[in-house]
Amino acid sequence: MIKVIPFKVAHYECLEPREYEASSVCCMPNLNFALKDWEDRKCAGTILHDGRILAIFGFYELWPGVCELFILPSKYTIKYPVAFARCVKRTIESGVFNNYHRVQLRGIDDKTHNKFNEFLGFEKEGTFKKYDSAGNNFNMWARVK
């Protein structure tokens, strides 16, 4: 059974991140500040399945009407890809983002991430060349009302 619970910093401490996130996002110098901020602002959730953390999922407002999503997946998302994808899509379509005319996210430019973002109903807007510390290209995706 998959469910989403309010994010707590302790969930991050139990997260078993994918290799990419462990070597990138999890090494960011301001991550502890961000984690506490997500918990305080109640803008993130923890996706659980069979007692395992699949991901931490949330958003931050860039300015009124525009927000950006983030997903910090664990190594378990690959074991439950359909349940995970449907959970994220249900959350996006639940009405929680109705106050935003633009919801955007960034994702690695590869087949898996591109297919996932299309499934979520996002439209690719462009590519950031060599965007991360490993030199990967990322795409910007958006859902616009």
DSSP string, 110-131: SHHHHHHHHHTT-EEEEEETT-
Average pLDDT of the chain to the nearest whole number: 94
Decide if pLDDT at 47 tops 90: yes
pLDDT band at 28 (very low <50, low <70, confident <90, very high): confident
pLDDT tens-digit map of 59-101: 999 999 999 999 999 999 999 999 999 999 999 999 999 999 9
